[in-house]
Structure 1
Amino acid sequence: MAQLLFKVGRWSYRRRYVVIALWLVVLVGLGGAAITLQKGFNDKFAIPGTPSQDAAELLIKNFPDQKNPLDNAGVNIIFAAPPGHTLSEPKYVQAMDDVIAYLDQHLPDIGDRTRFGNPVTYNPVFQEGIIKQEVDSGLPEDTARRDAQNLSLLSEDGRIGYTTLSLNVPSPTDVTDEHRQAIKDALEIGRTAGLTVEGGGAAFGDPLEIRTTSEMIGLAVAFIVLIFTFGSVIAAGLPLVTAVLGIGIGSVSIVLATRFVFLNNTTPVLAVMLGLAVGIDYALFILARYRTEYKRTSREDAAGLAVGTAGSAVVFAGLTVIIALLALSIVRIPFLTYMGLAAAFTVFVAVCVALTLVPALLGVMGKFAFGLKIPGLAGSKPVHIDEVSDQPRARRSKGRAWVMFVHRYPALVLSVVIVALGLLTMPALRLELALPNDSTSSLSSTQRKSADLITEGFGDGRNSLMLAVVDAAGVDPKAPALEPMVRAQRDIAKQKGEAFDENKAATTAAFTYVAERFATNADVKHAQLVGVNPTGTAAQLMITPYAGPNDPMTTKLLHSLRASQAEVESATGVTIGITGLTPIQRDVTQKLSDALPLYLSIVVGLAFVLLLLIFRSILVPLVAGIGFLLSVGAAFGVTVLFWQEGLWGLVETPGPLISFMPIFLIGVTFGLAMDYQVFLVSRMREHFTHHRGLATPGSRFNAVDESVIEGYTLGSRVVTSAALIMIAVFVAFIDQPLPFIKIFGFALGAGVLFDAFFIRMALVPASMFLMGHSTWWLPRWLDRILPTLDIEGAALEEEWEHKRAAADEEAERKVAQLAARSN
């Protein structure tokens, strides 16, 4: 592969303008297609095959006029009187009338109005309607009154009330700015009158807002780091140009993909974040190698050698990231699969751009590639390093000084890293996961305030309602569980002299039986019948828990209800499904949590196999895998400390982490960890193989220690710069308004920090010093069957050295011939 990449790099250098033009054509073409064909992003988190999704389909089957709960564009308007007052005071009643009237007149597409009205004046009418409907259907009046009270629109103390409506749009993503503005204006009317008025619900979520400041901050910090790395303004700018082009192509491709699949609105942000980081880093590695190569050969050949050597490592490093992202499809979660595919494609583009556009730009810049030097910074003058001895030198690099310290105290360094990261991992044991809802919104948002007011006035469970769908088409009229209620209906029919329908009686009994069974659960506050389909064969039951949507007790309740569901289905012959926004979100969270161990084992096993092939060693991959677990565990730990538990009060709204963050963090961190492992350890392996496993004559180190010291010295500076750039890019995304992006940027920054500086820069060299000659040990039988992967480009280097030596000999021969002729 190194020879092929050498040709690619040299061709790109020669055909520089063709390469640049081709990339620009790709960008413009995809951009035009995206603008024309894109359909927009979708916020759904449904997972086909989950119990709640199956229940949603059962709901639509029996109630065709109703939507999937995920498509319900509901709006909640919550009113609260000042402390010591009630909403029934005339001025507040008038204020609420004004809010309702404004919504009625200015909010288009109002659909369901069942609970839409002034909570003070409409609540009695609403409750009486429930009582009458249930009594007419045969329920006892006491039961009907309890059901009506459970659905009250006004709190017991009369201070808090709410009204709800739904918008007649296909899904919450179709809610327009006109809808939102009408709701906001209505809220202000109530607030002006002295009420606290807040809005929430799926249809009143803030639209996606993407700030370009994150990219700008990341690019600015990367530019500063690159200036310190190369000491040149022009060289510092080249990786930024290639990275921006790469994420541009990746972004418009993702927008275009919305034409064919549903993509979550966080998909392009994640792809940009990752693509920007790896795009800069990959260009940095090639550019750094080019700077070394052009000092000993022509610039054209130097570009080829840089792409053939560092480019080989870039290809393999990019491949590890891509494989880790593609492996997300193994867990069979559609939106997560698409997120992984989108990010993987962006990384693929970043690799291709680095291999072709970097040498093309070097060709354009020519001798000015490292121009506009800044005196005193690295790269502005050559630094000579003695690779074979530890003799005093005018200037010793910081990387060499550090690795010599590690060589002196390897056990201490290893112990400190393991203990420190182990302690930071401990908070991860308290990890809580949830999907976005009003209860997890920012404390300063009206959505969070509305959820908190509902909790205050009506209890936590009002924010986590569940819907049970009972399909009684297959009910067993002879079921012993239903026999007492069927008999009671038979007796009533006989007393009234009416015809008795056994199947209808069994259906009615089944609805009551299910409600009673669910209501006996200790974690259920209330369960009631809220609707029957026109044919009378299916019913809807509303279940009100005691706990809120993010409380672990709600998940426990859901499991308990489904256990009861199986028993009831077996005893009666009915089919039951439990759905609603809360069950759907809990099912998604549970599915993601269940997939986490499998995915973690896949990526760790993948890391071991890949590194085994690259470095032909048993222990090097083992150390790398352990190091990855330590770094990702520590990243989880600090993320839980700050974003879930609110350490030091630095986070405004601590709370459960978004459900798909852990699995995505593992995939991305794994890919990046393998990047640094490949770039750093390949330098060590290159030195070891170049010297055929022998120490350099005169060196006071053995062959393994020498390879670690020299490889680390050559590679640490570039890897350090790359890590700092990645951390800056990721941390800059904390500025984004989307909570998931904030948390993910923080977690990725922490993961890179721990992996690059604690694992790759400390634990890896320390363990290699301690392992000694066992570091590069591989059983002979395994060595024979493993394919050889030359990612260091050693064969290319050796071939190039032979060609150069032959060219030198030929030149010397010609000089000698000319000298002989002249004599």
Structure 2
Amino acid sequence: MAQILFRLGRWSFRRKWTVLTSWLLILAGVLAAALSLSRPFTTEFAISGTPAIDAISTLDEKFPGAGDSINAASVNIVFHVPDGESVADPEHTDTIDDVVNYIEDGLGDELTGTERFGNPTTVSPELQQTVIETETEMGLPEETARIDAENVAMVSDDETIAYTTFTIDVESAQAVTDEHRQVINEAMDLGREQGMQVEAGGPGFGDPIVIKTTSEIIGLIFAFIVLIITFGSVAAAVMPVITAVIGVGIGVLLIVTSTQWIELNNITPVLAVMIGLAVGIDYSLFILSRYRDERKRMPPEEAAGMAAGTAGSSVVFAGATVFVALAALAIVNIEFLTWMGLSAAVTVAIAVLVALTLTPALLGIFGNKAFALKAPGMAGNPWRKGGKPRMQGEAVGTKWVKFVHRFPALVVAVVVLGLGAMSIPTMNLEMSLPSDSTSNKDTTQRKSADLMAEGFGEGVNSPFLVIVDAEDANPEAPALTPLMQAQSSMAGEAPDAPTEQEIAATSSFLYTVNKMQSVGGVKHAQLIAASEDGTAAQILVTPFTGPDEQVTVEVAHALRAQGEEVTDATGATIGLTGLTAVQMDITERLGGAMPLYLSIVVGLAIVLLLLVFRSIMVPVVAGLGFLLSVGAAFGLTVLVWQEGLWGLVNTPAPLISFMPIFLIGVTFGLAMDYQVFLVTRMREHYAKSGGRSTPGSKYNAVEESVIVGFSQGARVVTAAAIIMIAVFVAFIDQPLPFIQIFGFALGVGVFFDAFFIRMGLVPATMFLMGRATWWMPKWLDRILPNIDIEGTALEREFEERQKAQQRPGENAEAREKVAAGSTAASALATESSGFEAATSDARYGSRGGGTREESHGPVRREDDDDGGPSTDEMPTVK
């Protein structure tokens, strides 16, 4: 692969304008396609195949159209007056009438579901009386009928809180328009102006999902600053930003275009942008950094090819791991999560292609100005023109890895114990989907939910709907016998008396109500509707607790268990649905899939790293380190966003259900990025040295390879991690809480993994393991395919050509091949002393810290501001 990428990088450098024009044309093409083919995104989280969704199908079958009510655009308008006053006071009833009338006039024909719409001080008594009369006519005791009527009251016992409800006639709650919201907001303002607290909530009055573009801009600006600090050059800092913007632009426009055929949630492109920007900048940064190193020993186009062949191989591998981790989200079998993962994966794939081709092309376009416009004092640049380079002493990365070498056990203990302790809060992880009860405390949706809970109990916000299909109810079931006898005696011998099967169906309804009422945690269960043919019924079950409490989940499980017992006892089929049940099923499916997904991605990491590094222990340490970093990221996220640590967020709440599994996938992919880019340099040195240390070195071969590789890669990996963290953290500025949480969780996940695991735990364990670091059984080494992502073959060919060129008796044909540059290595055979100098500098810290005798020879490098060649003094080992 390295040879192919070498040729691709060199070709892109030579055909720079062709490559740039091609990508710009592709960008323009997908933009045109997006403008002509795109359809609106949805705010729905599509899912199928759960028990609650299956129950909705039964509901639609028995009560045509009723299934739509689960996702109907229903709205609650809640009124509140101070203690000591009553909503029934004349001045308050007038205010309520004004609000209700304004909504009725403003929505017009789009106002539906008005059975409970109007002034609650008059609608509630009428509704309650209707319930009492209907149920007593059905033969229920009057006491039971009055309790059921009390449960549907629209005015609180102390008469300080009242509500009314209606439905907006649109396809779904997500189809509510800004014009609809404006009518409701104006009606509320009308009531507030008259001194009453008026709030609105419900599925039909959720805040529209607004995405701020400032997050991307902030992330790009911060990345640009970090790149300037890393390269000390404005010109070099521009290139990764250009490649990332073009790559993400193409990826997102493809996502927009795909809405012609696929229904996508409008969070999908946000996550793709977040991840695409981060990896797009990082991948180009790695190639650009390697180009700068290779440029010290070879001509520009060959340096571009070598950078693509070496760092580019690592980019391909790292991008592939991110792609697979995101695409593997499909195993959860939840539609919206599958499309989120695939969309982000496609964006990452495009980012890889753009980095591999456009980065060398931009290097060709910039030419000798690739590292021009130097930033004073940055990356060793002098503070003023003509001053001496600031390159004295060992680099920070070298100092750090030598510190780790001195105290490896201490570093391992601090990282493992520290991140392990931070993972403990993960045990308290709670998950849910967004609802009024978890909205920001400052929103009218949250205030309406809190008022409803205060006036009518927490369970009013989390009702369950039980569907009873009694078509196959067993008339001979012992459990139904008492109820059937009572109904038969009431019906008597009248000509229109119900049949035995009809009596069995009605008895199964009543039996189910009694059983559901007996479940612990249930406040009330009541029959609210029966089908026209008498074979099905709806039962409203109200728990004591709210939708975001774990007790409510336990109640749901108990209701389903009770439903199975009812089925066994009566023959009737029981289903549990409602918005609360649907969200609970989604949350539980996501939670249940997490262990499987985690095992897949960790197993994938170990296998892939086994192939790449030909080692048993390196993949194991990498996998365990990933578990530590993701666990710590979960723990801190739970502490801040769920538990409200230090009051950093004003509305602590359970984490959105799909955040943990998505965090696992993304963090895994990014963790493998840093593992590959850092450890590849170590493996590269170890392989090149043949597992032997340099004569006279105080380090053994493994220690030397770790120190040299870390010194070469630490600076660029640090910059890449900081850029990625900045891009993610910038999304905390978004207005939607779950996007804020995504940005925070991904940011801390990258922070823990890059700086604690890859730069602490990994080198420390290598020092402790010694030669076991690179050990692999011979039989396993023989059967595993060889994946050369370090570009070892390129380097070996370079060295062979170099030796051939230097042999005194070399034939003319070989010299002609070297001169013509017919292969990658032929072009690399120049300035060999520069390569040895660069390796020596990284290995021994020769910028002031060298211990070996050195002589200095000139090496040409064409990266000065004026574009002309300059002579840098590079050390060459004698």
- 1:502-521 aligned within 5 A: 502-521=500-519
Residue 810 of structure 1 deviates from its aligned partner by 9.4
SS at structure 2 position matched to 1:663: helix
| CA offset digits 1:225-279 (Å, max 9, x no partner) | 1001000001011101110111111111111222222222211111100000000
- 1:490-501 aligned within 5 A: 490-494=488-492, 499-501=497-499
1:231 maps to 2:232: yes
SS at structure 1 position matched to 2:441: coil
Query: Who is 1:371 aligned against?
Result: 372
| CA offset digits 1:600-656 (Å, max 9, x no partner) | 111111111011101010111111111111100000011011101111111111110
Q: Distance in 2 between matches of 1:255 and 1:781?
A: 49
Query: Who is 1:185 aligned against?
Result: 186
CA contact (8 A) 1:459 1:546 kept: yes
Query: Who is 1:636 aligned against?
Result: 634
CA contact (8 A) 1:119 1:162 kept: yes
Q: Distance in 1 between matches of 2:554 and 2:428?
A: 17
The two structures have a TM-score, normalised by structure 1, of: 0.96
SS at structure 2 position matched to 1:764: helix
Residue 806 of structure 1 deviates from its aligned partner by 4.5
Q: Distance in 2 between matches of 1:167 and 1:126?
A: 21
| CA offset digits 1:310-364 (Å, max 9, x no partner) | 0000000000101111111112111111111011001001100000111111111
Query: Who is 2:280 aligned against?
Result: 279
Match of 1:527 among 525, 528, 552: 525
Q: Distance in 1 between matches of 2:495 and 2:146?
A: 29
Match of 1:431 among 400, 422, 429: 429
Q: Distance in 1 between matches of 2:471 and 2:498?
A: 18
CA contact (8 A) 1:229 1:379 kept: no
Residue 739 of structure 1 deviates from its aligned partner by 1.2
| CA offset digits 1:387-436 (Å, max 9, x no partner) | xxxxxx94210000000000011111111111111111111111111100
Query: Who is 1:779 aligned against?
Result: 777
Q: Distance in 2 between matches of 1:100 and 1:22?
A: 59
Residue 667 of structure 1 deviates from its aligned partner by 0.6
CA contact (8 A) 1:46 1:584 kept: no
Residue 496 of structure 1 deviates from its aligned partner by 5.5
1:125 maps to 2:126: yes
SS at structure 2 position matched to 1:255: helix
CA contact (8 A) 1:81 1:196 kept: yes
Query: Who is 1:588 aligned against?
Result: 586
SS at structure 1 position matched to 2:450: helix
Query: Who is 1:206 aligned against?
Result: 207
Task: Flag the 1:65–1:228 CA change in 2: closer, same or farther, 3 A.
Answer: same
1:651 maps to 2:652: no
Query: Who is 2:65 aligned against?
Result: 65
Q: Distance in 1 between matches of 2:609 and 2:325?
A: 14
Residue 497 of structure 1 deviates from its aligned partner by 6.8
SS at structure 1 position matched to 2:776: coil
Task: Flag the 1:6–1:381 CA change in 2: closer, same or farther, 3 A.
Answer: farther
SS at structure 2 position matched to 1:543: strand
CA contact (8 A) 1:57 1:68 kept: no
SS at structure 2 position matched to 1:481: helix
1:296 maps to 2:297: yes
- Structure 1 stretches of 4+ with a deviation exceeding 6 A read 808-814
- 1:399-798 aligned within 5 A: 399-494=397-492, 499-798=497-796
Residue 812 of structure 1 deviates from its aligned partner by 10
Structure 1 residues 27-36 or 512-521, which shifts more?
27-36
Q: Distance in 1 between matches of 2:498 and 2:703?
A: 92
CA contact (8 A) 2:75 2:205 kept: yes
CA contact (8 A) 1:95 1:190 kept: yes
- Give the residue type in structure 1 aligned to 2:532: P
- Give the residue type in structure 1 aligned to 2:510: T
Residue 35 of structure 1 deviates from its aligned partner by 2.1
1:102 maps to 2:95: no
SS at structure 2 position matched to 1:161: strand
CA contact (8 A) 2:465 2:540 kept: yes
Structure 1 residues 235-244 or 259-268, which shifts more?
259-268
- Give the residue type in structure 2 aligned to 1:103: I
Q: Distance in 2 between matches of 1:171 and 1:516?
A: 33
Task: Flag the 1:400–1:485 CA change in 2: closer, same or farther, 3 A.
Answer: same
Query: Who is 2:4 aligned against?
Result: 4
- Give the residue type in structure 1 aligned to 2:339: Y
The count of residues paired between Structure 1 and Structure 2 equals 805
CA contact (8 A) 2:71 2:579 kept: no
Structure 1 residues 281-290 or 499-508, which shifts more?
499-508
- Give the residue type in structure 2 aligned to 1:170: E
CA contact (8 A) 2:629 2:757 kept: yes
The two structures have a TM-score, normalised by structure 2, of: 0.90
Gaps in structure 1 of 5+ consecutive residues: 383-392, 818-823
Q: Distance in 1 between matches of 2:539 and 2:561?
A: 17
Q: Distance in 1 between matches of 2:42 and 2:139?
A: 44
Residue 39 of structure 1 deviates from its aligned partner by 2.1
Q: Distance in 1 between matches of 2:375 and 2:807?
A: 39
| CA offset digits 1:436-489 (Å, max 9, x no partner) | 000000000000000000010001000000101111111111111111111112
- Give the residue type in structure 1 aligned to 2:499: D
Structure 1 residues 245-254 or 274-283, which shifts more?
245-254
1:316 maps to 2:314: no
Query: Who is 1:36 aligned against?
Result: 36
Q: Distance in 2 between matches of 1:486 and 1:619?
A: 71
CA contact (8 A) 1:230 1:379 kept: no
Query: Who is 1:83 aligned against?
Result: 83
SS at structure 2 position matched to 1:166: strand
CA contact (8 A) 1:46 1:53 kept: no
